[in-house]
A and B are shown apart, each in its own frame.
Chain A
Amino acid sequence: MAETIFALSSGRPPAAISVIRVSGPRAHEGGARIAGSLPEARSAAVRELRHPASGEMLDQGLVLRFDSPASSTGEDVVEFQCHGGRAVVDALLAALGSIEGLRPAEPGEFTRRAFENGRIDLTEAEGLADLIEAETESQRKAALAMAEGGLRKQIDQWQARLLGLSAEAERAIDYDEDDLATDPTLARESAKLAAELRDWLIRPRIEPLKDGLRVVIAGPPNVGKSSLINAIAGSDRAIVTDIPGTTRDHIEVPLSLGGVPILLTDTAGLREAQDEVEAIGVARAAALAERADVLVWVGEPDAALGHPRMIKVHSKADVPGRGRAPTGSVPVSSVTGEGITPLLEQIGELATTLLPLAGTIALNRRQAERIGEAAEALEMAAAAPECVLLAEGLRQARNAFDRLTGRAGVEDVLDALFGRFCLGK
């Protein structure tokens, strides 16, 4: 039986309203545990939304019920329309996740279910083929087109070499008249190809170019992180007050820095949280800082988190007594604008080391995973004690490439296709 899945189906909060959808055989049961009771099918009702275990009220919102098969996915569906704050949405998602038998949806999973249950008509191959086609079309139009074409050529070339090695290994097994355990040339060539793939894997990835580099501002509460982000963004996107812990959740500001896309993120101040909501924010801030491409630390230099690409900021440089910055920290004043430009320059410098060089080919994560598998299989081949294991390593590498190009496993193809959708669509 299908599992029951849930996800945020509307855009990223903050927003006026967020829509959370639950689909699957246990959707009604799960929905009722949050909302108390569900309305008639195909109608909406206002309900208090509570955590099923603690009973804590999370929000008041609109609940809609749909019965299988007359729903968007063809399964039983419950939809919550709640307030669009991040904390509310996260709390609701966490509440749903706490219910047994419910799990977060994979990207594209709603669409996929709708598709498999015949509820949407994008189907029928033509549509599918169009979609696949559309992907390459739009990418061709995108600035990355050249790089993509180049990658295909590169993959073709790797595959051709791999096929040549495989053919030679198979010939050695099925036709070689001299009974040799392994072929040193084959092992050497396999190692060479593996090393080449590894070289590619350490290159900058394509994601930062598409999604922007994640530059995260972190530090203890009330050191002026939000002021800094406002000064940088030149807008009042972040809420700035004097109360410590005001920024309970992170705020993202997309910027362009000399043509480099950057997602500047302000986070909650790192300290012992005073309440549950702040605790979530603090935990998230720590996680964000860890995953950041570049970390901007605002606070005492000695207290800084560990990060390979960090810029330390001496904030509030305009305040009397804070005129002198410790060595290695950039003095910045959000009030006077002092130090903002040097800071941005430093961010820009660090950022470019993470981006693919213009005109070069970059891999995305999925591609990198498959190529990593191929490299691993090739390394196994190179170290194999006997010919049949060498050939097996080469075969597994070929299989990784087949899955990379969509040659193998129809399920994989569809996963790749639906994986392109955003979560919850």
Chain B
Amino acid sequence: MFDVLVIGAGHAGCEAAAAAARRGARVGLLTFRAEDAGQMSCNPSIGGVGKGHLVREVDVFDGLMARAADRSAIHRRMLNRSKGPAVWGPRVQADRQLYRRAIGELVESNGVELVIAEALRMLVRRGRVVGVETSEGVVPCRALVIATGTFLDARMFVGEEVVEGGRQGERAALALAEQIRDIGLGQGRLKTGTPPRLDGRTIDWARLAEQPSDLEPWSMSALDDGGRPPQVRCAITRTNARTHGIIRANFDRSPLFAGAIEGRGPRYCPSIEDKVKRFAERDAHQIFLEPEGLGDHLVYPNGISTSLPVDVQREFVRSIHGLQNAEIVRSGYAVEYEFVDPRRLNATLEVRDLRGLFLAGQINGTTGYEEAAAQGLVAGLNAAARALTLDEVRFDRRTSYIGVMIDDLTLQGVTEPYRMMTARAEFRLSLRADNATTRLGGAALKAACVSERRRTYIEKHLDQRSSSAWAESEEGRADALYSPYIQRQQREWQAVHRDSQVRIPHALDFRTIPGLSNEMVERLRSTQPETLDQASRIPGVTPAALSALYVAAIRRTAA
């Protein structure tokens, strides 16, 4: 009997399993194949603007991603260096093999047990998850985390070809998908894509602008082990008018435009055919050529994900400066997958109507490793809480990007793959990558999920804030820079706080509130806001509806 069982060993699953184990749970991690753990299925990089913030936050709770990234980083860049410390985005490129190995080691050292099997169906008794039936037999558990990524009923598209499966060469979790649909969780389909992988030996590097690794020795994790793999060089190139001409001539052969893919893709990181179509006025798009590893010739051309047929991919790639002779090792493809409506989840990522079931990662409609890992942390900490009757761990959007994401997902839901951006955080000046320990250290200690080493680090860090040397530290300088602006924000903050004090009674039937239109009733019922502040952030809820709700809530509380 496991306290917590996690299905899926991707970024969400590994993080969830390890987090639950750190809280003292006996944890099983169920996966098709052992070597899947920590696999980077898309671009081989960790972090970035907004995403780097998430990684640093997960790290405060002794999560895996930052440490694995440090151990496998072959290129580092602090993005947005000149735009202000609030939006600095630490980003590393990782060697795929090294990253996977690091995650494997960390998962194991956290005491997680691997279970190699295919999950067939959940076992539910009296409204509560009690285990999973697998290809190798029944595995009982007290709490279950499903972190199956794009594997729920996924389909892959390369031009006119369609293949079942979430990643190249892997099976889609069909049975589980059906069950999730049966309990009414399924919402719709989304899509994502990857670019063709190139053979680095066929790229004309000499003709391309180089992008060097940062010289400053910053690290993703606050607990830097110091070990550094050698650094590699990346290069930048661009598409051109000829590239766009080739793509345009083949629009009819793209499953995106031919109508085969119904799922919506991320507006913020579109495929190259999307970009050419939507930004017709632009004659070039930037491409980062990122080596996938030290002992690997594969190069990931970041910026040209595509689902065009193989012959078109080759043709347009070779129209690009420096890639005239480039060989495609693996074609790009689009993946369409099913996701659940995250508004059916609590802020702990537990399914509201099924006790003990937690969902994390891409299944909730997000995109990106970092978003997945952060959800994994939340689900893992809280699955352990459910199994062992510990305190829940909730994140606030005023103090963390994790809180922003969970709040956005569970309150607003998704209509396109959700990606973290700093623009989503209204308290951005306070939520920096450099002050994650200050913001979340106390919560991490309270959750009792950190190592002795981390505990010492957090306590020391919090102590240092009151020392005279603090003003000279990077974090102290950023504090000083933003403090006048943050003070201006206090007034807004207080207004939010006031509205968040107005609790909406759980038993409140929105239909009994006079003056609420059916549409408003529906929006409120599908989201079940707990406070007036949450209600105010539900899309489409009008000021008049909020007033009515406010009155009803005040009266109900007074009565």
Which residue numbers of A lie inside 8 Å of B, CB to CB?
115-118, 123-129, 132, 170, 172-175, 177, 179-181, 386-389, 391-392, 395-396, 399, 406-414, 417
CB distance B82 to A181 under 8 Å? yes
CB of B492 within 8 Å of the partner chain: yes
CB distance B515 to A387 under 8 Å? no
Most chain A C-beta atoms within 10 Å of own C-beta, residue among B422, B513, B516, B544: B544
CB distance B79 to A179 under 8 Å? yes
Q: A408 contacts which chain B residues (CB < 8 A)?
A: 495, 536
Cβ-defined partner of A177 (8 Å) among B86, B286, B549, B555: B286
CB distance B421 to A116 under 8 Å? no
CB distance A387 to B547 under 8 Å? no
CB distance from A113 to the nearest CB of B (A): 11
Q: Chain B interface residue count: which class?
A: 35 or more
CB distance A396 to B488 under 8 Å? yes
CB distance from A384 to the nearest CB of B (A): 9
CB distance A125 to B495 under 8 Å? no
Q: B83 contacts which chain A residues (CB < 8 A)?
A: 172-173, 179-181, 386-388
CB distance A128 to B547 under 8 Å? yes
Cβ-defined partner of A414 (8 Å) among B49, B81, B547: B547
CB distance B495 to A414 under 8 Å? no
CB distance B515 to A413 under 8 Å? no
Q: B428 contacts which chain A residues (CB < 8 A)?
A: 388, 391-392
Q: B540 contacts which chain A residues (CB < 8 A)?
A: none
CB distance B543 to A406 under 8 Å? yes
What are 14 A-B pairs at a CB distance below 8 A? A116-B551, A117-B558, A124-B515, A125-B545, A170-B422, A170-B423, A172-B83, A173-B80, A173-B87, A173-B423, A174-B421, A388-B83, A388-B84, A410-B549
CB distance A387 to B516 under 8 Å? no
Q: A389 contacts which chain B residues (CB < 8 A)?
A: 84, 429, 485
CB distance B86 to A388 under 8 Å? yes
Which residue of chain B is the closest to A406 with respect to CB atoms? B543
Given the known interface contacts A180-B82, A386-B83, the answer about A174 and B423 at a Cβ–Cβ threshold of 8 Å is yes
Which residue of chain A is the closest to B79 with respect to CB atoms? A179
Bound-complex Cα distance A287 to B87 (A)? 51
CB distance from B559 to the nearest CB of A (A): 8
Most chain B C-beta atoms within 10 Å of own C-beta, residue among A117, A172, A407, A409: A409
A-B residue pairs, 6 tightest by C-beta:
A125-B515, A125-B548, A126-B515, A388-B84, A386-B84, A170-B423
Which residue of chain A is the closest to B286 with respect to CB atoms? A177
Bound-complex Cα distance A281 to B290 (A)? 81
Bound-complex Cα distance A127 to B544 (A)? 10
CB distance B554 to A125 under 8 Å? no
CB distance B548 to A128 under 8 Å? yes
CB distance from B486 to the nearest CB of A (A): 9
Given the known interface contacts A386-B84, A387-B83, the answer about A128 and B551 at a Cβ–Cβ threshold of 8 Å is yes
Q: B291 contacts which chain A residues (CB < 8 A)?
A: none
Q: B49 contacts which chain A residues (CB < 8 A)?
A: 173-174
CB distance B422 to A410 under 8 Å? no
CB of B139 within 8 Å of the partner chain: no
Q: B87 contacts which chain A residues (CB < 8 A)?
A: 173-174, 387-388
Which residue of chain B is the closest to A181 with respect to CB atoms? B82
Q: B555 contacts which chain A residues (CB < 8 A)?
A: 116, 118, 123
CB distance from A414 to the nearest CB of B (A): 6
Residues of B490-506 contacting chain A, CB below 8 A: 492, 495, 498-499, 502
CB of B293 within 8 Å of the partner chain: no
CB distance from B162 to the nearest CB of A (A): 32
CB distance B547 to A407 under 8 Å? no
Q: B429 contacts which chain A residues (CB < 8 A)?
A: 388-389, 392
Which residue of chain A is the closest to B515 with respect to CB atoms? A125
CB of B514 within 8 Å of the partner chain: yes
CB distance A411 to B495 under 8 Å? yes
Q: How many A-B pairs fall under 8 Å by CB?
A: 123
Q: A392 contacts which chain B residues (CB < 8 A)?
A: 428-429, 485
Q: B545 contacts which chain A residues (CB < 8 A)?
A: 125
Most chain B C-beta atoms within 10 Å of own C-beta, residue among A117, A391, A407: A391
Bound-complex Cα distance A280 to B550 (A)? 43
CB of B532 within 8 Å of the partner chain: yes
Cβ-defined partner of B514 (8 Å) among A116, A124, A386, A407: A124
Given the known interface contacts A179-B81, A406-B543, A410-B532, the answer about A123 and B551 at a Cβ–Cβ threshold of 8 Å is yes
Bound-complex Cα distance A294 to B76 (A)? 68
CB distance from B420 to the nearest CB of A (A): 9
Cβ-defined partner of B543 (8 Å) among A170, A179, A386, A407: A407
CB distance from B66 to the nearest CB of A (A): 21
Bound-complex Cα distance A171 to B45 (A)? 21
Given the known interface contacts A125-B547, A392-B485, the answer about A118 and B84 at a Cβ–Cβ threshold of 8 Å is no
CB distance B499 to A410 under 8 Å? yes
Given the known interface contacts A386-B84, A387-B83, A392-B428, the answer about A124 and B551 at a Cβ–Cβ threshold of 8 Å is yes
Which residue of chain A is the closest to B83 with respect to CB atoms? A387
CB distance A116 to B554 under 8 Å? yes
CB of B426 within 8 Å of the partner chain: yes
CB distance from A243 to the nearest CB of B (A): 53
CB of B44 within 8 Å of the partner chain: no
CB distance from B85 to the nearest CB of A (A): 8
CB distance from A156 to the nearest CB of B (A): 16
Bound-complex Cα distance A128 to B554 (A)? 15
CB distance B492 to A399 under 8 Å? yes
Bound-complex Cα distance A399 to B543 (A)? 15
Which residue of chain A is the closest to B285 with respect to CB atoms? A177
CB distance from A65 to the nearest CB of B (A): 23
CB distance A129 to B515 under 8 Å? yes
CB distance A128 to B495 under 8 Å? no
CB of B387 within 8 Å of the partner chain: no
Residues of B377-401 contacting chain A, CB below 8 A: none
CB distance from B392 to the nearest CB of A (A): 27
Bound-complex Cα distance A411 to B83 (A)? 35
CB distance from B79 to the nearest CB of A (A): 7
Cβ-defined partner of B513 (8 Å) among A125, A177, A406, A413: A125
Bound-complex Cα distance A128 to B551 (A)? 10
Q: B423 contacts which chain A residues (CB < 8 A)?
A: 170, 173-174, 391
CB distance from A88 to the nearest CB of B (A): 37
Q: A125 contacts which chain B residues (CB < 8 A)?
A: 513-516, 544-545, 547-549, 551-552
CB distance from B253 to the nearest CB of A (A): 29
Residues of B472-494 contacting chain A, CB below 8 A: 485, 488-489, 492
CB distance B543 to A410 under 8 Å? yes
Bound-complex Cα distance A127 to B547 (A)? 11
* Besides A410-B499, A413-B547, 9 new A-B residue pairs in contact (Cβ under 8 A), listed by A number: A125-B513, A125-B515, A125-B516, A125-B544, A132-B544, A392-B485, A395-B426, A399-B492, A407-B543
CB of B376 within 8 Å of the partner chain: no
Q: B547 contacts which chain A residues (CB < 8 A)?
A: 125, 128-129, 410, 413-414, 417
CB distance from A288 to the nearest CB of B (A): 33
CB of B351 within 8 Å of the partner chain: no
Q: A414 contacts which chain B residues (CB < 8 A)?
A: 547, 550
Q: A172 contacts which chain B residues (CB < 8 A)?
A: 83
CB of B546 within 8 Å of the partner chain: yes
CB distance from B445 to the nearest CB of A (A): 30
Q: B552 contacts which chain A residues (CB < 8 A)?
A: 124-125
Which residue of chain A is the closest to B89 with respect to CB atoms? A174
Bound-complex Cα distance A174 to B549 (A)? 36
Q: B422 contacts which chain A residues (CB < 8 A)?
A: 170, 173-174, 388
CB distance A412 to B551 under 8 Å? no
Which residue of chain A is the closest to B420 with respect to CB atoms? A174
Q: A126 contacts which chain B residues (CB < 8 A)?
A: 514-515, 548
CB distance from B530 to the nearest CB of A (A): 15
